Each structure stands twice: as C-alpha cells, then as structure tokens.
C-alpha cells in the first residue's frame, strides 16, 4: 500500500482490506446468529453512497433472506461534518411493519444515525437496528444503540472502501488516513 493523493490532500495506508474483511466476517456472524431463525425477512437499508461496498460484502456473507433498500443522506463538506443532515434521496422502498437493519459505513458524531433512525420509525419500521463497519467512539455521544460494529477507530479523517473526500477515493479496497 502506497500513499494516495485525492484532489489537494494526501492519504497514507491505514487499514488493509484483510482487516476490513475480518471485521465484516465478525459482523455477519453476529447478524446470522440474530436473524437466521427470526421468522421474518428483514430489510437492509444501505446508506448511500459510502456504505455500498460494505453492504455488498456484508450481504454475500448473510445466511438469511433479506431485502435491500437504500437512502442517501449527507452531512459532510470536505473533511468535516456540517452537523446538519440533508436527505438527498429518500427510501427506495417501504419499511412499514418491518424489521430494519441500517447498514452504515462509519458512525462518528452520530447525527446521521439519529436522523435516520427517527425517519425509519416515522415510516413505520417495527424494529430498527444499526450496523456499521466503523465507529469513532471518542466522538459518538448519542443515545441510539449501535448493535453491530465492525471495528473502532480514532477520530481521524479516512477514505477508501466506500468512504470519500469530496466524492473521491471510494473505490480503494483499503482504507487510508489523511497524512498531516
């Protein structure tokens, strides 16, 4: 893994794909244990665009039937959160009366997860669980429980494996951290 440059920033290797895959395996094992005999088909809500790679990899590892819908929210400009969540694209399907698993790439401040959980409940979801590949515990202070967490990381700006800097860098299979 070598450094990469995206627009005006340089990023250095941080989390290799092998570690990401192991974290996804761990999350999938827990989901399989919880949903394999649940008797209902849950709906995965993929949070676009960042969670696309995580959601795809996760779904390949699930042993139970599930449906997939997506939703696009935005709260970032450049390398920092605006603190305001904008709904860029609403839900692509119904969640009414359904068990829902939010599939998110990263949870940091939690503003997006809180907003999304409220939206899904308003739209009639029976149960909402949160599944995230990455968590920044030092900045997450919200009350919404995070049911499935792949790995915890420090509060640093990262790209790769779906995560972007101004829409660049999502396509890298490894994760990179800003090189300051």
Catalytic residues: 108
Locate 136 and state its tokens.
């920044």
Distance (Å, rounded) from C-alpha 176 to C-alpha 172?
9
């Amino acid at each position: 893994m070598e450094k990469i440059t995206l627009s005006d920033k340089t990023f250095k290797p941080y989390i290799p794909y092998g570690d990401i895959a192991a974290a996804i395996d761990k999350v999938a094992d827990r989901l399989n244990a919880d949903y394999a005999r649940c008797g209902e088909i849950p709906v995965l809500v993929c949070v676009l665009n960042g969670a696309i790679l995580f959601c795809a990899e996760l779904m390949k590892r699930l042993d139970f039937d599930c449906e997939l819908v997506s939703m696009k929210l935005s709260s970032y400009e450049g390398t920092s959160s605006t603190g305001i969540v904008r709904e860029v694209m609403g839900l692509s399907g119904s969640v009414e009366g359904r068990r829902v698993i939010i599939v998110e790439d990263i949870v940091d401040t939690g503003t997006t997860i809180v907003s999304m959980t409220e939206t899904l409940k308003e739209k009639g979801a029976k149960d909402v669980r949160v599944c995230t590949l990455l968590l920044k515990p030092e900045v997450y202070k919200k009350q919404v429980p995070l049911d499935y967490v792949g790995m915890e990381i420090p509060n640093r700006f990262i790209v790769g494996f779906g995560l972007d800097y101004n829409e660049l860098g999502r396509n890298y299979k490894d994760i990179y951290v800003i090189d300051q």
